[in-house]
Amino acid sequence: MDMTKTSLSALRKSLDDKQISAKELCAECFSAIESGEEGIGAFITLTREEAEKAAEKAQARIDRGEADFLTGIPLAIKDNICTDGIRTTCASKMLEDFVPPYDAAVMEKLKGQDFVMVGKTNMDEFAMGGATQTSYFKRTHNPNDKSRVPGGSSGGSAAAVAAGFVPAALGSDTGGSIRQPASFCGVTGLKPTYGRVSRYGLVAFGSSLDQIGPIANSALDCGALLNVIAGVDERDATSARLPHEDFTDKIGQSVKGLRIALPKEFYGEAVDSEVKEAVTKASKELESLGAVLVSCEIPSLKYGIPAYYLIACAEAASNLSRFDGIKYGLRGEGKSYGEMILDSRNRGFGEEVKRRILLGNYALSSGYYDAYYRKACALRQKIKAEYEAIFERAEVILTPTAPSVAFKIGSDDTDPVKMYTADMLTVPVNIAGLPAISVPCGRDKENMPIGMSIVGRRFDEGTIIQVADAYERVVG
């Protein structure tokens, strides 16, 4: 069974109709991983023994006629999501041997349906990066061209889906870390509204920005996965107190009359011509279905990168202060408490993590807090207001996901500033706390995938999934 072309719904039907067993499906995933993982590097930890046991348990449930949507379905999990009894490293030497004593909230929900976890995926260390090249363990390669990056920081999850190792995976998105790798790898990735999915058990990078979301082969599959992982969680103070809904309810509904905004700033000189051409063509496809294209502006987009990196790095510096080598993680050496912490962090953190901690502490330090961090927070409110103004005129916004296709390994990822500016199209959505989905919309002259993002109003995932699905259907 080709996982790159099989939907979750089709797998559900095959399992329920006994065309394949959960154990056989699990075995097919590991067979694909064994044949292709060496050249891709999508996983940090494979959990075959646990997966086989989970498949047996799932099959018993299927045989009783009590299967839920994900019962027996194999998935991969990003390695910054805590998994009880299974190593969770955040791709860092600091947590190389860390085994959580509890599950993240999303894992509880998935296990409640008896899914099958095949492994924990590679990522940029502590989710800090846009290429999955800062991992302590390995570099991940793009399945479309192994000389290129898969994007990041959820590059391992996107590569695992694109390579056909699993039909879907979970990632996390702080500044585009689900959508950008989905775009680079030619799959679909959904970043839910901030607060839609519990962050309990997600190792924090930027607490006001982080959000867990699905990566799959279609908008429908992403919506179906979101149905499982979304919901209120009293352990997460930022969890939205909203009633449960079906995010696939609008699938198949006409987009006639639906207004789609095209902010001119997202189609500027910084975006490659082939990317702009592909996304513009996609907008015309939606217009042919009856959607109405609306021109608009987001003037503050140019401040998105500095505002995002000041806020994200400040929060990262605070969150990573817990890694002192005492409670858990790498324990350093030294004759004093200070020397031990210094050695723990010096050996445990990679260069990119250290860089962001330094930037964050600088922005929060006395004398610079008002000059930098406070201004970044003010810009955040301005960007939110500009999005709200657009949503008074349109239901969704359509933009390129990334300014270019996946770049070569060892090129842009060696220049931190260039890497940061590559996030210019994704970070505003996180700053505003909005939902967005990246969908493949073409390929460039070298046959590399191009992705477009559909951004929606807060807590309106149903509409962006509807539009993404309508596009996928019209282009086949």
- pTM value surpassing 0.95: yes
pLDDT at 413 over 60: no
Sequence ranges of the domains in the chain: 1-476
Q: What is the average pLDDT across 290-300?
A: 97
* Local confidence band at 2 (pLDDT 50, 70, 90 cut-offs): confident
Judge contact between 235 and 82, C-beta under 8 A: no
User: Residues 6 or more apart from 161 whose CB is under 8 A from it?
Assistant: 3, 4, 76, 167, 168, 169, 185, 187, 215, 216, 217
- In contact, 163 and 134? CB cutoff 8 Å: no
Candidates 115, 34, 14; CA nearest to 69 is: 115
The CATH number of 1-476, from 3.90.1300.10, 3.40.50.300, 3.10.180.10, 3.40.50.720, is 3.90.1300.10
Active site residues: 78, 153, 177
The neighbouring-strand residues paired with 438 are 189, 453
Q: What is the pLDDT of residues 81-124, one digit of tens each?
A: 999 999 999 999 999 999 999 999 999 999 999 999 999 999 99
- Residue-wise pLDDT for 141-174, tens only, equals 999 999 999 999 999 999 999 999 999 999 999 9
Give residue-wise pLDDT tens across range 438-470. Answer: 999 999 999 999 999 999 999 999 999 999 999
Q: What does the pLDDT read at residue 4? A: 67
DSSP state of 148: B
Question: Cα(98)–Cα(79) distance, rounded to whole angstroms?
Answer: 11
